[in-house]
Structure 1
């Protein structure tokens, strides 16, 4: 069990935060054994934000803790605490220490990587959602100790599964490319996913919406590479030289997580919420246009649904390409000639329905159209 000291706001809070009040807060019934720091119990539960602050966890982690601690088990608290197997976290306040009982916690208090069987279990759950069309509960609820590294390992298992069945990688996508989305997810950098051959759809040909679970659509400036790009150490100049041309694109984002209730771990594990891609047919040399200044209007069934510009994507879509190359390079992955890279959306994502026609028009780049039918995937 890892140990870490907690920081109380003042002596009053320290004294009030006894085992009983802590137990009531997280749904644990304590039976006291041994000597207490105080001779009496002072139940004084605090608001959840303060509990999270004292425990040094996020509100999301606290919610998981609370949900998994009910119904309340009983626990004898001694100088050598015995932890009930069903507990996610418990605490010993006599020594003003919190002993972390989180699944996957190391003796240093840090999360340990998920083992191979657990990673495969998570990947199998996502693959089942792909195949049955039935979304699953958030992975972060099932695996509360999962890290970003774990999530990418799950994603790699999905990609390997598809490749073994002939659906190879044809590119990559960058997600969470806007500051607003990063704040929403509580991260300070983008994420990435893989684009496989089956994800590409032809412009103007009906796309069976039954092949998705809960699709949305986003306009992006797609890079088509002319030469290999591998980090680390890739610069903007390197990226510009590697790009053959750009085309307008529509990315279909989709989630195998029920109701899009995703955390950063969920979206990464779920291949960065990838669904599909439609590329425009008008290539433009990257040296002929400033991608930061490319404006975009997204129409859905003839009505303006959203507007945006290239500068919304990490300041410039090229920055997203550089970030991607330098992120996957140390993992032994290169961005290959002919591969497509989607750098991130210029607007918010728009939900799509059977019969919808979506058109993205980009200044200087032309337009791209996606049409959705009510048919199931063949």
Structure 2
């Protein structure tokens, strides 16, 4: 019998986060770990975060690109929680003293103007609930060594949550074509990648709708004022001390993430 259970796993992952300690995937020792149990672990970590004084401020999606889904052998993105402790101010460095092995990826972020509750949410009804659209950056920081994990492992680990930051430009969704909204990724002055909003399930609104419907199955919803990170537009890039990673969007402005000491 495995020594692991939901509470033990949640405590271990949060301890690794607090101590900046990586480990082998839970599934190495818990081969029967499944998605339902992994989401229960994720919810247990949220309860512990809230009990410690953090506030839930939104949700994030992972594996929203078809290429990443094929790589993981899945056909649906994953959903995880954001808390106020994960919010990072624009210009604040990604401190090497806070994270284990941080990476950053560009995202299109929504701030909700109305509650959004599934089931039955469509991309159109999802966008009706959006108040503002921002450029976003998701700083991911897996608790697993070398970012090696199965799908249940990463779900339990709150989709490798680390921190997030939104850019200075806020635009209303009306009139924006988020399918063609492009981003250029610049690492230390060199353009290394590019993508458009279509990389996220064809349109970021599809990711928002999926999140609302998936959360409904867990008895949860997305609330007005919350932030939704719709998923990485490109691969994630390491943020070692001294690195400068900039994301330049067509209409949503530019956002720079710097590696700190």
TM-score (normalised: structure 2): 0.96
Counterpart check, 1:315 vs 2:226: no
Structure 1 CA distance for aligned equivalents of residues 69 and 47 of structure 2: 28
SS at match of 2:149: coil
SS at match of 2:159: helix
Structure 1 CA distance for aligned equivalents of residues 103 and 193 of structure 2: 13
| Offset of residue 334 of structure 1 | 1.2
Counterpart check, 1:120 vs 2:7: yes
Counterpart check, 1:134 vs 2:21: yes
Structure 1: 5+ residue stretches without partners: 1-102, 105-114
| Offset of residue 209 of structure 1 | 2.6
Counterpart check, 1:259 vs 2:155: no
Given candidates 271, 283, 305, the residue that maps to 2:158 is 271
Matching residue of 2:225: 338
Q: Is the 8 A contact 1:305 1:350 kept in 2?
A: no
Counterpart check, 1:292 vs 2:195: no
SS at match of 2:153: helix
Structure 2: 5+ residue stretches without partners: none
Counterpart check, 1:364 vs 2:241: no
SS at match of 1:140: helix
Q: Is the 8 A contact 1:126 1:136 kept in 2?
A: no
Counterpart check, 1:226 vs 2:125: no
Structure 2 CA distance for aligned equivalents of residues 299 and 209 of structure 1: 21
Matching residue of 2:89: 202
- Give the number of aligned pairs: 261
Q: Is the 8 A contact 1:125 1:136 kept in 2?
A: no
Structure 1 CA distance for aligned equivalents of residues 183 and 132 of structure 2: 18
Q: Is the 8 A contact 1:225 1:244 kept in 2?
A: yes
Matching residue of 1:244: 131
SS at match of 1:358: strand
Matching residue of 1:304: 191
| Offset of residue 205 of structure 1 | 2.5
Structure with bigger gyration radius: 1
SS at match of 1:207: coil
Q: Is the 8 A contact 2:182 2:250 kept in 1?
A: yes
Counterpart check, 1:160 vs 2:47: yes
SS at match of 1:208: coil
| Offset of residue 164 of structure 1 | 0.5
SS at match of 1:229: coil
Structure 2 CA distance for aligned equivalents of residues 257 and 223 of structure 1: 28
Structure 2 CA distance for aligned equivalents of residues 149 and 274 of structure 1: 19
Deviation digits for residues 347-371 of structure 1, max 9, x if unmatched? 1111110111221111111111222
Matching residue of 1:17: none
RMSD: 1.4
Misfit runs of 4+, over 3 Å: none
The aligned runs of 1:50-65 (5 Å cut-off) are: none
Q: Is the 8 A contact 1:255 1:274 kept in 2?
A: yes
TM-score (normalised: structure 1): 0.67
Deviation digits for residues 305-349 of structure 1, max 9, x if unmatched? 321111011011110000000110132211011100011111111
Structure 2 CA distance for aligned equivalents of residues 352 and 373 of structure 1: 9
Q: Which has the higher contact order (CA 8 A, sep 6+)?
A: 2
Structure 2 CA distance for aligned equivalents of residues 167 and 299 of structure 1: 33
Structure 2 CA distance for aligned equivalents of residues 265 and 299 of structure 1: 32
